[in-house]
């Protein structure tokens, strides 16, 4: 089998061209697929995508040969005039808010839609120019940036095995219907054999949109379009449990050092990309409310707030950053003292070992998005707690909540509920913490990243062979 991954980003982001410097790309998509390729021991694979930052066309040849030789990645050059409208524009100002069911934040611009179409074509060209596609090739296209690509590939390779996986929510049909280019988007997706989603809710939303917009009905997620069988199904993405459950002295030293530096105060940890969907501001309001209500926590609790920079070119993200930073300053200014800073704020991405050390050092982790496709951080935290201690507070609107029912599940829109949940978590007896974590850890082992990827690929195999049978009849 040959696996071709096509996603907006390759797993490495370029930070400098002279000399070449790469860092790991952010987000769950990259960490999940990267882990799957490793765990499944796939030797014949290639990953096509953008290098994650603006590069000059003349530097691309050097970048390209390094990436192909050392990382199996084929970088795509997106011309400056398309990049802003495609990435900051249509992908992140139209699709991102709309698919997270925040239609008030979505904008609809014809020129951005055009750039989106053109960039999807660039990805298509990169595929046909660089990869030999045969009957054993699986072309796996990922996420909302590339929803037109499946049909482009299907037209060129009618018999190819094509899968598409959406890493973000699919909104309810009433919300999706607001997209002026809804037909084109759905038709684009229908080029795939299998269209996968993290939760049953998103799959159902997609199927209902198909019926509403294109009048296509399904039976158990299977439908016929252009005389082909297509399946929409649910594949909740898992993690590489061993990577987070690792025994490592260096990590243990870091855990100890975090606890020592903070004088063994209780630690609440929070880590997200900077995004208005993540509910970071409400989290701060809840922490503030808690400090007001429970004076005994003052001086005894620290919130480590790690925010990973993201989409800094989009105004809404810049505004969100300012609001968050102002609130942090207000809380620290009001409650803090020489001995105690209530919030330790970091605006950077953490290397994976440091991240695991934070998961293990904390007493409570706060994951409270307003809407989130899956949220692998919640799963990583659970897997990393070999000591079976620590409490996960998780939003009911994260896809992960469907599998992690033993977490303290909260509605992130209620500051009171969040604040009470933090209180309950800080006061939770250790045996209850262990009981909850154990159940969740067992579940994560059963449906891990390997199962996720293998299930998806088997489904593509099954549906494409049904197509062959249909053809010979």
Catalytic residues: 167, 372
Please give the Cα distance from 190 to 341 (Å, whole number): 53
Helix H segments across 336-414? 352-361, 376-384
Q: Which is nearer to ligand G6P, 26 or 103 (CB)?
A: 26
Site residues for ligand G6P, 438-457, by CB under 6 A, read none
Q: How far is the CB of 47 from ligand G6P (least distance, A)?
A: 13
* Measured CA distances, 317 to 80, 228, 325, 434 (Å): 21, 41, 12, 37
CB of 226 to ligand G6P, least distance (A): 28
143 CB-near residues (< 8 Å, 6+ apart):
7, 8, 29, 165, 166, 167, 168
From the CB of 121, what's the least distance to ligand G6P, in Å?
19
Could you tell me if 465 and 413 are in contact, meaning their C-beta atoms sit under 8 angstroms apart?
A: no
317: its two tokens: 């993200």
The residue among 22 and 287 lying less far from ligand G6P, judged by its C-beta, is: 22
CA gap 51, 413 in Å, rounded: 36
d(CA 251, CA 270): 18
**Across the chain, which distance is largest between two alpha carbons, in Å?**
79
When asked if residue 5 is in the footprint of ligand G6P (CB under 6 A), the reply is no
By C-alpha distance, which of 171, 3, 175, 5 is closest to 74? 5
Q: Report the residue from 4, 10, 11, 28 that binds ligand G6P according to the rule CB under 6 A.
A: 28
Taking the least distance from each CB to ligand G6P, the nearer of 240 and 288 is: 240
* Count of helices and strands (H, E) across the chain: 18, 16
Which residue, judged by CB position, is nearest to ligand G6P in the bound state?
27
Nearer Cβ to ligand G6P (312/326): 312
| Per-residue x/- track, 168-197, ligand G6P (CB under 6 A) | x-----------------------------
Q: Tokens at residue 340, please?
A: 């105690």
Interface pick for ligand G6P out of 3, 9, 11, 151 (rule CB under 6 A): 9
Residue (17 or 310) nearer to ligand G6P, CB: 310
Is-cis flag, bond preceding 208, omega within 30? no
Residue 46, sorted as left (phi over 0), alpha (psi -120 to 50) or beta, turns out to be: beta
Given the complex with ligand G6P, which of 163 and 390 has the nearer CB atom?
A: 163
Please report, as residue ranges, which positions from 133 to 172 form the binding site for ligand G6P (by CB under 6 A). Answer: 143, 167-168
CA 115 to chain centre: 23
Q: Which stretch binds ligand G6P (CB under 6 A): 25-33, 57-65, 105-113, 149-157?
A: 25-33
CB of 83 to ligand G6P, least distance (A): 12
Asked if 97 is part of the footprint of ligand G6P (rule: CB under 6 A), the reply reads no
Query: Tokens 């929409």 sit at which residue?
Result: 232
x-or-dash pattern for ligand G6P, window 229-268, by CB under 6 A? ----------------------------------------
Size of the site for ligand G6P (CB under 6 A): 11
Stretch of 23-31, 33-41, 169-177, 387-395 contacting ligand G6P, by CB under 6 A: 23-31
Pick the closest to residue 140 from 4, 38, 302 (CA basis). Answer: 4
CA angle 356, 361, 367 (to 5 degrees): 70
Q: Which is nearer to ligand G6P, 25 or 459 (CB)?
A: 25
Q: Where are the beta strands (DSSP E) in 228-355?
A: 228-234, 266-273, 301-308, 343-347
Site string for ligand G6P, 286-315 (x = CB under 6 A): ------------------------xx----
Contact 368, 425 (CB under 8 A): no
Residues near ligand G6P (CB under 6 A)? 8-9, 26-29, 143, 167-168, 310-311
């Amino acid at each position: 089998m040959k696996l071709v991954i096509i996603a907006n980003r390759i797993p490495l982001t370029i930070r400098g061209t002279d000399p070449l410097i790469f860092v790991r790309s952010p987000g769950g998509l990259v960490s999940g697929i990267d882990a799957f390729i490793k765990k499944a021991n796939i030797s014949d694979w290639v990953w096509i995508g953008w290098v994650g930052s603006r590069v000059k066309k003349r530097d691309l040849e050097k970048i390209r040969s390094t990436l192909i030789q050392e990382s199996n990645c084929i970088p795509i050059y997106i011309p400056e005039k398309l990049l802003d409208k495609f990435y900051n524009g249509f992908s992140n100002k139209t699709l991102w808010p709309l698919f997270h069911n925040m239609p008030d934040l979505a904008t609809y611009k014809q020129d951005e839609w055009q750039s989106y179409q053109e960039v999807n074509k660039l990805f298509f060209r990169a595929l046909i120019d660089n990869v030999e596609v045969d009957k054993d090739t699986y072309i796996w296209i990922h996420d909302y940036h590339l929803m037109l690509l499946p049909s482009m590939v299907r037209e060129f390779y009618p018999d190819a095995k094509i899968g598409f996986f959406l890493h973000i929510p699919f909104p309810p049909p009433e919300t999706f219907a607001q997209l002026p280019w809804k037909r084109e988007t759905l038709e684009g997706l229908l080029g795939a054999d299998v269209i996968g989603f993290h939760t049953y809710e998103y799959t159902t939303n997609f199927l209902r949109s198909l019926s509403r917009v294109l009048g296509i009905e399904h039976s158990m997620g299977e439908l016929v379009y252009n005389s082909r069988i297509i399946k929409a199904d649910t594949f909740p993405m898992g993690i590489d449990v061993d990577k987070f459950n690792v025994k490592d002295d260096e990590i243990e030293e870091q855990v100890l050092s975090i606890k020592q530096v903070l004088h063994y105060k209780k630690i609440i940890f929070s880590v997200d990309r900077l995004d208005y969907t993540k509910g970071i501001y409400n989290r701060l309001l809840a922490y503030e409310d808690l400090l007001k209500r429970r004076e005994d926590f003052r001086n005894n609790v620290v919130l480590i707030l790690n925010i990973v920079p993201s989409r800094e070119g989009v105004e809404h993200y810049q505004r969100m950053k300012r609001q968050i930073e102002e609130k942090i300053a207000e809380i620290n200014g009001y409650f803090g003292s020489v001995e105690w800073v209530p919030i330790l704020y970091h605006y950077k991405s953490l290397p994976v070992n440091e991240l695991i050390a934070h998961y293990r050092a904390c007493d409570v982790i706060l994951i409270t998005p307003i809407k989130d496709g899956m949220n692998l951080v919640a799963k990583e935290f659970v897997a990393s707690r070999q000591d079976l201690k620590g409490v996960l507070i998780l939003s009911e609107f994260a896809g992960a909540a469907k599998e992690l029912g033993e977490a303290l599940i909260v509605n992130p829109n209620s500051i009171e509920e969040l604040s009470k949940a933090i209180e309950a978590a800080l006061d939770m007896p250790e045996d209850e913490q262990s009981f909850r974590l154990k159940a969740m850890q067992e579940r994560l082992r059963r449906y891990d990243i390997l199962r996720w990827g293998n299930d998806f690929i088997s489904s593509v195999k099954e549906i494409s062979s049904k197509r062959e049978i249909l053809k010979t009849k």
